[in-house]
Amino acid sequence: MSRLEEYILAHIDDEGDLLRELTRDAHVNLLRPRMMAGHLQGRILKMLCRLIQPRRILEIGAYTGYATLCLAEATEDEARIHTIEIEEEMEDFLMKYIARSPHKERIRVHFGDAMERIPHLDETWDLVFIDADKQRYSEYYDLVFPRLRPGGVILADNTLWDGKVANVPPPADKQTRGILKFNEKIKEDRRIEKVILPLRDGLTVIRKNN
């Protein structure tokens, strides 16, 4: 961690005991803890959620549930967060921390392929957070956009992909190619406003026009 990042973390809201414990647990017991949102991104997700004030949230890719818990912190009691995780082996870890959250009643967890599960969720979305298979970002976007309310927001994580988007990827690098395809799609979409925040691996904020 750089000195600048240490300074930033020391001058923003604390992540809280539950998320700190989740982070330690992930670094000890999971192979890819870097995939978690983490302290800074978690506080940004909470702040954006607080500003948007969504009643219906869809999260594509829960992993440890860190981002899920951050989003839940910023919602009102009547809000609902539907989060979808394809890796069923994450169930014990994920549900362990959601069960301990004071906001657990707002969270609905679905295991399986998001492309199959989303059509069965009869909701109009105020906020969608995409953080799953990078090859399928464009597909996720096309699937959720018709059910995103006017003025609704999509947050897409990892859209700078460790800086790889600035170079031509090799043919075998399907993840980077998926992100590049998505970024070009968003660039050309006139139905939205969009900006890429250079936060960690890149966070694209997309607002559907009224």
Average pLDDT value for the chain: 95
Q: What is the predicted pLDDT for the residue at 184? A: 97
CATH of region 3-208, choose from 3.40.50.410, 3.40.1010.20, 3.30.830.10, 3.40.50.150: 3.40.50.150
Distance (Å, whole) CA 92 – CA 171: 36
Residue corresponding to tokens 């957070």: 129
Distance (Å, whole) CA 123 – CA 26: 32
In one-letter notation, the amino acid at residue 175 is: Q
CA torsion sign for 80, 52, 178, 123 is positive
Evaluate if pTM is beyond 0.85.
yes
* Residue 172 to residues 105, 133, 158, 189, Cα–Cα distance (Å): 42, 15, 19, 27
Q: What is the predicted pLDDT for the residue at 34? A: 85
Dihedral of CA atoms 118, 121, 126, 128 in degrees, nearest 10, equals -20
Q: What is the predicted pLDDT for the residue at 1? A: 76
Distance (Å, whole) CA 99 – CA 94: 9
Q: What is the predicted pLDDT for the residue at 171? A: 84
**pLDDT of the chain along its 210 residues, tens only?**
789 999 999 999 999 999 999 999 999 999 888 888 999 999 999 999 999 999 999 999 999 999 999 999 999 999 999 999 999 999 999 999 999 999 999 999 999 999 999 999 999 999 999 999 999 999 999 999 999 999 999 999 999 998 899 888 888 899 999 999 999 999 999 999 999 999 888 999 999 998
Q: What is the predicted pLDDT for the residue at 4? A: 92
CB-based contacts of 208, cutoff 8 Å, min separation 6: 145, 148, 149, 150, 151, 152, 153, 154, 191, 192
Q: What is the predicted pLDDT for the residue at 60? A: 98
Q: What is the predicted pLDDT for the residue at 168? A: 85
CB-based contacts of 69, cutoff 8 Å, min separation 6: 18, 19, 22, 42, 97, 98, 101, 103
Distance (Å, whole) CA 130 – CA 59: 6
Distance (Å, whole) CA 97 – CA 22: 7
Distance (Å, whole) CA 11 – CA 81: 28
Distance (Å, whole) CA 45 – CA 94: 18
Q: What is the predicted pLDDT for the residue at 199? A: 86
